[in-house]
Structure 1
């Protein structure tokens, strides 16, 4: 019988034993050859244990000390850089949905190497307007991969986005926090549960923190953010 992880990948995107997305080499497991996978920009060994911002030590960074986020930690294998960012852009803005299985496979591989358990796994929800415009939520296959790896409950209905916020990319750090404040809702109490929230990219962490805040107000004891890659943000 196929494992849950394999079933998710095969159902969503037939990527096994295909050509490498980046170099076109044949018979590449999960859509990337070993060489191209090794070229992905890995998170350096030194980073903040809360926000995963690259640093000179493994100490909590100054920003997290001054403005502690609502999530407990960000877990991520990569930095937001070439060629990974090109694949993410192709999925999100080029609607290359056949590539989503590659990203999900990378997320599952990372989760397998870092055993961690959460009671429930949820993708960061999009607003109705953004979902209608894009046609899909790119975080769902990533969250499915995490849930299958953890053997945890998966839900796309526990949380929702109350309003269509301004795209975060156009805003500074303080503006990002204000933009997503009170942007999420949770449908029921989740007292004592640990929650994994999943997204493709973390930059300032404002969206993840806003979602984690409302989850904790509804009783979550711990909220961990799992993202495929970490983008740097100015320390201002």
Structure 2
């Protein structure tokens, strides 16, 4: 941790952060200026279980109609931003153009939110990619975001307990019902889990089908609580 802190100090002195969107000076150690930070759309009023935005403001934690009808296997979702044009740019450029700087920004934005709102878990599991998809893409964007979270929040990363069994079709290409079917039995736990509270990290949540499938596998192997941390929630 001390080495990382010194590296951050040196980097911020000689290579001060610049806003990814407009090129102005960053603030608070972020690769984002204050004006662009204020332009990010917050997910302020949402279902505490799946993060789906509510149309009206709420004052107490509530479940959406979908979660009341059929609860997902995960227990709580933290998704501080809405998947608008700005978040879409950050996430798609990271995912498809390997903009690792975006992973640092997304991880720091998410960590700042979590430090104020979340009960920290015993470990973090980034959503695994199938080995074929990993070979095609060369990296896992969820893992890159999770690395920054783990470092900032001092939480262990578990990269070995879960695998993706099938190279499933891209979720964005499928309607909600097909997304759930597409991910049935998509994940397996391949080593003993010694934690009772685990967090799944992903870049964006659309229907929650991916997180639900992974949470189901984790709970089937004795995990008591599974939360989901994502940078953004689709409306």
State the TM-score, normalizing by the size of structure 2. Answer: 0.89
Give the whole-Å Cα distance in 1 for the aligned partners of 2:145 and 2:174: 25
Give the whole-Å Cα distance in 2 for the aligned partners of 1:54 and 1:135: 33
Within 5 A, what are the aligned runs for 1:1-236? 2=2, 6=5, 17-26=16-25, 28=27, 29-44=29-44, 46-55=45-54, 56=56, 57=58, 58-190=61-193, 193-232=196-235
Contact conserved, 2:100 with 2:144, CA < 8 A, in 1? Answer: no
Report the Cα offset of residue 30 of structure 1: 2.0
Give the whole-Å Cα distance in 1 for the aligned partners of 2:13 and 2:214: 32
Contact conserved, 1:189 with 1:219, CA < 8 A, in 2? Answer: no
Contact conserved, 1:202 with 1:231, CA < 8 A, in 2? Answer: yes
Give the whole-Å Cα distance in 2 for the aligned partners of 1:180 and 1:73: 20
Report the Cα offset of residue 84 of structure 1: 1.6
How many residues of Structure 1 are paired with residues of Structure 2 in the alignment? Answer: 230
Report the Cα offset of residue 42 of structure 1: 0.7
Give the whole-Å Cα distance in 2 for the aligned partners of 1:167 and 1:183: 13
State the TM-score, normalizing by the size of structure 1. Answer: 0.88
SS at match of 2:98: coil
Task: Tell me the C-alpha RMSD between the 2 structures.
Answer: 2.6
Report the Cα offset of residue 192 of structure 1: 5.5
Gaps spanning 5+ residues in structure 2: where?
A: none
Report the Cα offset of residue 150 of structure 1: 3.7
